Amino acid sequence: VRAAGGLIKYLEKNRIGIELEDINVRVPFVNIQVFSLNDQVIIDNTALSALQIFRKETHPSVYKSGQSCSKEGFSLFGILNRCKSQLGSKLLRRWFLTPTKNVEILQQRHSAIAYFINKCQSDIVRSLEGCLLHIRSISRILSRMKQAQVSIGDWQRLYKTVYHAIYLADICKAQDQQISVFKKISSTFTEDLHRIATLINKIVDFAESKAQNRFVVKANVDQNLDDKKRTYNGLPSFMTEVAKEELNRLSEDITECNVVYLPQLGYLLAIPCSDNLTSEAQFHIPGLEFVFLSNNMIHYKSASTRNLDKILGDTQCEITDHETAIMHQLQDTILEHCQVLFNVMDSAAELDCLIALSLCAQEFGYVQPAFTSENVIDIKTGRHPLQEIVSSPYVANDITSGGPHPKLKILTGPNASGKSVYLKQVALILYMSYIGSFIPAESPSTVCTVDRIFTRIKSQESVSVGLSTFMLDINQMSDCLRHATGRSLVIVDEFGKGTESVDGLTLLCASLRYWLTMEKCPHVLVSTNFHDIIEQKLLPASPTLEYLTMETLCNKDEVVFLYQITKGFSDCSFANETALQAGLPVEIVERGKMVPVVG
């Protein structure tokens, strides 16, 4: 209640949505929708950035480097977003920002992805993609309808969306109704959708509307309107006959005249200027009333043109007003049934996301994970979804935690041997399973649901924060220690390297010892180059603790990384060998080897 009150106070203070209204106008509140976090896997922005789930890339040109010119870079969202519609992309981003631990929802998504992956459904998938490509977000169109500001382009987009939504519904109704998204579309795409499409198709003349840049009604919709249009279309010949009659009544000096129509002024007799009609005094003609002179044409009112005004009136404006009234009736009908249009957007977006995830699963060889109620993670030959794209061949590794396997794992190994990639791989595989995606692994792979994913990998430094790198690391570690439960996943990469070695080592050991003494230890993966933890036995022996290392081969001064996880520990970081491989000058590396000896 306090949070809702604070939110309402903030909206009223900042006058959200009514910035240009009078100061006495209050912010209108329609309703308050409650959003529960009970089923959500909590992951903060630091973790999203560290795991490269999202990554913005700005335009290389300095003149186009604003926020609006940025795009999604090489990230998990970037490779999985194969959505055909903007609606789908927005919903997929929402799934990424709010991963869920609701197993029922995740299994529904997995079932749909498994259905689309089947090669027998390839034609169906292509047909669905073709429909999704033409389904647009029509919320703004409906909003403009309420304000009577709909353009011809809006009508075209609305009709195209409804037309393809009907086609989409027909395809889905013919599919397996055990798939949740098919069942949802079949039940929510009601006859109201057909009624809207029929009315738009029957009423709106898109070709004429585009030509005249206004709403034009088709024939046989309104008899009164058709009569007005027939009268208006016959006006040119009728006005020619009237002009001939007027010319016969004029003097022989006048050899030409026309009957013209001008809005607001009505029908006028137009006579071209001649030698006898050069000054305003000469414009007086018996039986005619002078109106104005323009472009060497003198315009008059005559008895015949006044009669036309009485009989025909302002025909063009009457037609426009009549068509506008029909448009308003059509808009009111559509707004009465707008709920089905919102259902179209929601269901089409969900279908688009599921098809996009199925395409990625098929392309990258992902498999469906199995969920277990036990607090166990068992991934067979897991892969990093991003690293495997840029590294070929990629060395896969198993992931086991919980149950009979230790939940706290300390990973040691040489620099650049793949420790950080393995840690991120574990977090990303679990994260992908919580958005409903298949995972880069082999079957059978089993995952449990976690409540939060913590990372201490990357420090997002900023002058505005006013904190040192080590202070940022400490804050992240503090968050892990205070909030991690037995159902949490904690990823810690090289904690303690930002300060004096002894202090960093003691802080890391104290943190690990704290988790070991917890009644329910979280799933913890830690990578470190503090080999004193093992050599000096700073941590007590525990069935919850396991040491892992990355396999390497040493051949004199050359180190070959095998990127394979194995039990045990490393007693050397091979920093000098790694520096040589990175291109550091030999004399600097040799000098570095001498410094500890001299000390």
Torsion of CA 520, 51, 534, 522, to 10 degrees: 0
Spatial separation of the C-alpha atoms in residues 323 and 309, rounded to whole Å: 21
Yes or no: say if 335 and 145 are a contact pair by the CB < 8 Å rule. yes
In this predicted structure, which of 69-73, 406-410, 563-567 has the lowest mean pLDDT? Answer: 69-73
Cα–Cα distance list, 393 to 122, 176, 384, 428 (Å): 29, 38, 12, 19
Structural domain includes residue 23: no
Contact 272, 297 (CB under 8 A): yes
What is the separation, in whole angstroms, between the first and last Cα of the chain? 64
Element (H, E) at 219: none
Question: Does the N-terminal peptide bond of residue 236 adopt cis geometry, omega within 30 degrees of 0?
Answer: no
The contacts of residue 536 (CB under 8 Å, 6+ apart) are none
Q: Which pairs from 500-506 meet CB under 8 Å and 24+ separation?
A: 501/530, 504/530, 505/530, 505/532, 505/533, 505/538
Given 364, 394, 428, the domain boundary residue is 364
Name the β-bridge partners of 289: 301
The enclosing domain of 245 has a CATH number of 1.10.1420.10
Q: Are residues 174 and 134 in the same domain?
A: yes
pLDDT at 463 (0 to 100): 63
Tens digits of residue pLDDT in 113-134: 999 999 999 999 999 999 999 9
Where does the pLDDT of residue 94 fall: very low under 50, low under 70, confident under 90, or very high at 90 and above?
A: very high
pLDDT at 583: 82
160: in domain:
yes
**The pair of three-digit structure tokens given for residue 327, joined into one six-digit string:** 């448009």
Residues 6+ apart with CB under 8 A from 11: 27, 29
In order, the DSSP letters of 147-185 are TT---HHHHHHHHHHHHHHHHHHHHHHTS-TTSHHHHHH
Residue position matching structure tokens 């414009």: 283
Return the amino acid letter for 36: S
Give the model confidence (pLDDT) of 280-302 as tens digits: 777 888 888 888 888 888 888 88
Average pLDDT over residues 578-594: 82
Q: Is residue 552 part of a domain?
A: yes
DSSP H or E run through 27: none
Chain centroid, CA 127 distance in Å? 22
Give the domain-ending residue among 268, 290, 310.
310
pLDDT(9) > 60:
yes
Measured CA to CA, the distance from residue 353 to residue 436 in angstroms comes to 10
The mean pLDDT value of the chain amounts to 88
Same domain, 397 and 493: yes
pTM of the model: 0.84
The pLDDT value recorded for residue 238 is: 77
Domain-ending residue, one of 268, 295, 310: 310
Residues 344 and 474 in one domain: no
> 46 in a domain, yes or no?
no
pLDDT per position as a tens digit, 372-387: 999 999 999 999 999 9
CB contact at 8 A, 468 and 502: no
- Which residues sit opposite 272 in a β-bridge? 297
* 528 falls within a domain: yes
Same domain, 226 and 239: no
- Are residue 114 and residue 87 in the same domain, yes or no? yes
CATH of the domain at 525: 3.40.50.300
Q: Is 231 exposed, middle or buried (0-12, 13-18, 19+ CB in 10 A)?
A: middle
Distances (CA, A) of 436 to 107, 376, 381: 7, 18, 20
Q: Are residues 571 and 582 in the same domain?
A: yes
Domain that holds residue 219: 81-233+314-364
Which pLDDT does position 61 carry in this prediction?
Answer: 65
- Report the distance separating Cα 205 and Cα 226, nearest Å: 13
Q: Say yes or no: 457 and 383 in one domain.
A: yes
Residue 98: Cβ within 10 Å count: 16
Same domain (yes/no): 168, 97 = yes
Indicate the pLDDT class of residue 146, thresholds 50, 70 and 90: confident
Does any domain span residue 151?
yes
- pLDDT of 413 strictly over 60: yes
Q: Give the pLDDT of residue 599.
A: 47
**Is 471 in contact with 435 (CB distance < 8 Å)?**
no
* In-domain check, residue 523: yes
User: What's the whole-number mean pLDDT along residues 141-162?
Assistant: 91
pLDDT band at 51 (very low <50, low <70, confident <90, very high): very high
Q: Are residues 294 and 357 in the same domain?
A: no
**Strand partners for 524:** 408, 490
The reply to whether 298 and 340 lie within a common domain is no
**C-alpha dihedral (209, 210, 213, 217), degrees to nearest 10:** 0
Distance between CA 72 and CA 54 in Å, rounded?
7
Specify whether the CB–CB gap between 243 and 269 falls below 8 A.
yes
Beta strands in 236-376 (DSSP E): 258-262, 266-272, 289-294, 297-301, 370-371
- Element (DSSP H or E) covering residue 401: strand 397-401
pLDDT band at 582 (very low <50, low <70, confident <90, very high): confident
Looking at residue 462, what is its pLDDT? 62
Least confident of 217-221, 225-229, 484-488: 225-229
Whether the predicted pLDDT of 142 surpasses 50: yes
Whether 501 and 533 map to the same domain: the answer is yes
Q: Model confidence over 294-332: pLDDT tens digits?
A: 888 888 888 888 888 777 767 778 888 899 999 999 999
Total structural domains within the chain: 3
pLDDT mean over 162-187: 94
HEC letters along 538-574? CCCCCCCEEEEEEEEEEECCEEEEEEEEEECCCCCCC
Asked whether residue 550 is domain-assigned, the answer is: yes
* 488 neighbors 454 (Cβ within 8 angstroms): yes
Please tell me whether residues 175 and 93 are part of one structural domain.
yes
Q: What is the pLDDT of residues 70-86, one digit of tens each?
A: 788 899 999 999 999 99
Among 28-37, 132-141, 419-428, the range scoring the smallest mean pLDDT is 28-37
